[in-house]
Structure 1
Amino acid sequence: MKLYVVDAFTTRKFSGNQAGVALLGRDEDYPDDGFMQTLAAELKHSETAFVKRLGPESFRLRYFTPEGEVDLCGHATIAAFTVLREEGNLAPGTYGASTLAGELSIEVSRTAVWMDMAPPVEGRTFSEEEARELYAAYGLSLDDMPADMVPRAVSTGLCDILLPVSTREALEAAVQNEAAVTELSRRYQVVGIHMFWPSLERGETAHCRNFAPLYAIPEEAATGTSNGALTYYLYRQGKLRPGDESRFLQGEHMGKPSEILSRLEEGDGSVKIRVGGRAVLTLGLELL
């Protein structure tokens, strides 16, 4: 098994969001879940992807946080296919990825990786009283909620609460009460909370912060699945049109600026969302 540390959704080392990537050999089976969980906890990245090649154009990916297995991770998928490309294991093209969230199509170019999100699923729209509790978990109030947006749970592989704020100052001033957000995440059966400030008039889509203390991730510098969900949310709000390429900026508050791209397409009565970005290899080693 070869191990890599990859900075995803960036072009600079020690920026973006780091992921662990474990590449299994062609004749190597997945180790037991306990081993993968222990390794992910030892590496201490928000997610580690374990990658097994099934055929010339197909792979299986499993994802572990320091606390447990999750169905899908966008930045770890971008990291994994960047490793495969940079190590000469695949050429630019389209590949299949089997995950617990379903079968995904991955597009690999010479400079970037794009991945299909799972079909979007809208969850709970939060009442005023529920929203008040969500904002209070960050030292904010309903005065920080935009007049034309409300918190909503959305999934494109993993379910997050999307929490809009009306100013960049509110986004930057938010201080998380980890115990409260952990309890809220457990209560509403979500991975975490994705806070965002819409900034479309600036040539960007949104500035974001992502929190998942339930999975031992106080804050994350780049989250592909969350921004896939946010793409759908903004589309449903009439803020994005089919064919638009969106640009989400995240990790700035952590000193790890990241850029996550997305595309949304309509067809046959459904919506397809892709998330993409670049990544750089920082470290590689062989597990003894």
Structure 2
Amino acid sequence: MKTYFVDSFTNEKFKGNPAAVCLPDAELDAVMMQNIATEIGFSETAFIKQIQENTYSIRFFSPKTEIPLCGHATLASSKILFSTTSFESIKFINCNNVELLIAKEADKIKMQFPVYDTEQTEVPQKLLEALGISEIVEKRYSPNNKIILVEIESAQQLANLKPDFAALKNSHNGINGVLVTAISNNENFDFHYRYFWPWAGTDEDPVTGGVQTFLTKYWANKLNKTKFNAFQSSSRTGIMSTELIQDKVYILGEAVIVLEGDFIL
């Protein structure tokens, strides 16, 4: 099975978020795809299969479970298809029949994702303690993603967080992850964020595009604007631009192919 490793949301190798992109020749069942994703060990492995011309099915698996929507693995898959075909645009269809429209834009890739609302929520004190957070600005919940959003005051504090992941996982049930965000202290960016998800994937996702389905709208409401430059302050770091247009969010990023090979099934 043709397989690629791609660093997403970066123009440098060994930065951004690594994703595996698999192009199976035959149908694979979910157990096999999960085994492959667990074997590779990246936060996400994408499996893409051509349906017609420039339309592909896409499924995402973390090392633990199938994930309906993933930004960086969509970007990685788009990078592979744009590099190996003559397509100028691509349509992916995920496991929930959500259409993801992708287009080239100069040396970057532009992805159209849906937008989801957030709602008020309570956050267990044990969860905040496990994150190392004592004071918060706001807390929200994305039901579609099963992700808690916590805004804190300082981007520097965000970068310095060193969660206790065992305690974090035990502090809550029924969620996929916790996103912590702060307004930027850098004039080149509007907001910073980090994403922790020991419940459904790895401890920390290096760069997360899928959370922009609710994070861009969150900051649009706070900052009264629709275009953003975002920085993910994980150890690998990552950058992307986003734009909110009605019920869609457009995510713009770069990616670098680092490995091409065959996975022996």
TM (normalized to structure 1)? 0.84
Residues 86-235 of structure 1 mapped to structure 2, 5 A cutoff: 86-87=83-84, 89-93=85-89, 95-101=90-96, 102-123=98-119, 125-127=120-122, 130=123, 132-142=125-135, 145-146=136-137, 150-154=138-142, 158-186=145-173, 189-199=174-184, 202-235=187-220
- Distance change (3 Å), C-alpha of 1:104 and 1:72: same
CA distance in 2, matches of 1:85, 1:170: 38
CA contact (8 A) 1:195 1:208 kept: yes
Corresponding residue for 2:225?
241
CA distance in 1, matches of 2:106, 2:88: 6
Corresponding residue for 2:36?
39
For 2:242, which of 256, 262, 268 is the aligned residue? 262
Q: Which runs of 5+ in 1 are unaligned?
A: none
Q: Which runs of 5+ in 2 are unaligned?
A: none
SS in 1 for 2:211: helix
Equivalent pairs, count: 263
Q: CA deviation at 1:110?
A: 4.5
Corresponding residue for 2:58?
61
CA RMSD of aligned residues (A): 2.0
CA distance in 1, matches of 2:5, 2:105: 20
Of all paired residues, the percent bearing the same amino acid is 27
CA distance in 2, matches of 1:120, 1:241: 17
Q: CA deviation at 1:207?
A: 1.6
- Amino acid paired to 2:238: S
- Amino acid paired to 2:166: A
- Distance change (3 Å), C-alpha of 1:199 and 1:85: same
CA distance in 1, matches of 2:224, 2:175: 24
CA distance in 2, matches of 1:185, 1:70: 19
CA contact (8 A) 2:126 2:168 kept: no
SS in 1 for 2:114: coil
- Distance change (3 Å), C-alpha of 1:216 and 1:98: closer
CA distance in 1, matches of 2:234, 2:115: 30
SS in 2 for 1:78: helix
CA distance in 2, matches of 1:276, 1:126: 30
Q: CA deviation at 1:173?
A: 2.9
- Amino acid paired to 2:231: L
Relative to its length, the structure with more helix (as a share) is 1
- Amino acid paired to 1:98: I
CA distance in 2, matches of 1:286, 1:140: 44
- Distance change (3 Å), C-alpha of 1:259 and 1:185: farther
